[in-house]
Amino acid sequence: MPRNQIPPFELKLTQREAHPERTVVRLATGAAFGGDVLAICAGPCSVESAEQIEATAAAVARAGANVLRGGAFKPRTSPYAFQGLGLHGLELMRVAATRHGLAVVTEVLDPRDVEAVSAYADMLQIGARNMQNFALLREAGLSRKPVLLKRGLAATVDEWLMAAEYLLLAGNTQVVLCERGVRSFDSNTRNLLDLSVVPLLATMTHLPVIVDPSHGTGIARLVEPMSLAGVAAGADGLLVEVHPDPASAVSDGRQSLTFEQFASLVGKLAEVAAAVGRRLPAPGLVV
């Protein structure tokens, strides 16, 4: 091989041949990624207050979600933007999720925070900006906590799978891939949601794959049709942003669904899921 030629990516642990059976990632609450029942993750971009996250947890559980998503540590392009409530935000999420029978998935930004975030979360999210933060990937892998790995802003499928390889190599077999759109030349949507990778990855890897139509489009009215399309394409679940009042959200309000919009979406998902041999989660505990 010429010295200036880059060797091909070598996938050892994520490739389908290494694990012929599809991996099913199960959380402590019973929510699963990769089985017959879809994982429906819903909640705000940022945890803003106890009232906000409590109202959201109750609404999404009532509609049929089984995982509460939300950011306590926020990676923001501007250093002056809201950066999240930190550990207090994690505490608020955990209380609200437990009250309503939901699991918690939340982002971790720093290898030094993996242990602290793991104490509150059922699943660690590695965001798009950190997909190739190899120190963070190794630490999350060593935690053995289930990991949701988002595709990078301009990552190829091979680069994305190599990032997952870091997690598996560290000993963590509980990894879920999340397609959240890639950056394109067209500014009409926030990103280009690449749904073709869902069936493609089913032939390449044993890992479950879910779709984030909120970041994938950046426009609330596009979230429902792309959610339905994602499930039709074979996604093992969805990651949807939901807020009590999107117009007042401190981040990503434009792409967030209201409670009513989310309930409408879940109602339409049942028929699509049934058509591809999947089911929706049973409604959570609502008090």
**Sequence ranges of the domains in the chain:** 37-275
pLDDT at residue number 74: 81
pLDDT tens digit string along 216-247? Answer: 999 999 999 999 999 999 999 999 999 999 99
* Owner of token pair 């994520």: 14
Asked if 103 and 28 count as a contact pair (C-beta separation under 8 A), the reply is yes
> Could you tell me the two tokens for 19?
């694990």
| Chain mean pLDDT for the chain | 93
Q: Which CATH architecture fits 37-275? A: Alpha-Beta Barrel (3.20)
pLDDT tens digit string along 133-183? Answer: 999 999 999 999 999 999 999 999 999 999 999 999 999 999 999 999 999
Q: Cα separation of 255 and 208, whole Å?
A: 24
pLDDT of 188 > 60? The answer is yes
Q: Cα separation of 154 and 286, whole Å?
A: 39
pLDDT tens digit string along 52-88? Answer: 999 999 999 999 999 999 999 887 778 877 777 899 9
Q: Cα separation of 236 and 112, whole Å?
A: 30
Asked if 75 and 127 count as a contact pair (C-beta separation under 8 A), the reply is yes
Beta strand 147-150 with 25-26 is: unpaired
Q: Cα separation of 188 and 233, whole Å?
A: 23
pLDDT of 44 > 60? The answer is yes
Q: Cα separation of 265 and 262, whole Å?
A: 5
pLDDT band at 6 (very low <50, low <70, confident <90, very high): very low
The mean pLDDT of 245-261, rounded to a whole number, is 95
pLDDT band at 1 (very low <50, low <70, confident <90, very high): very low
pLDDT tens digit string along 89-116? Answer: 999 999 999 999 999 999 999 999 999 9
pLDDT at residue number 3: 46
pLDDT of 286 > 60? The answer is no
| CA-only gyration radius of the chain, Å | 18
- Compute the Cα dihedral for 181, 80, 163, 103 and give only its sign: negative
CA dihedral 267, 272, 274, 280 (to 10 degrees): -40
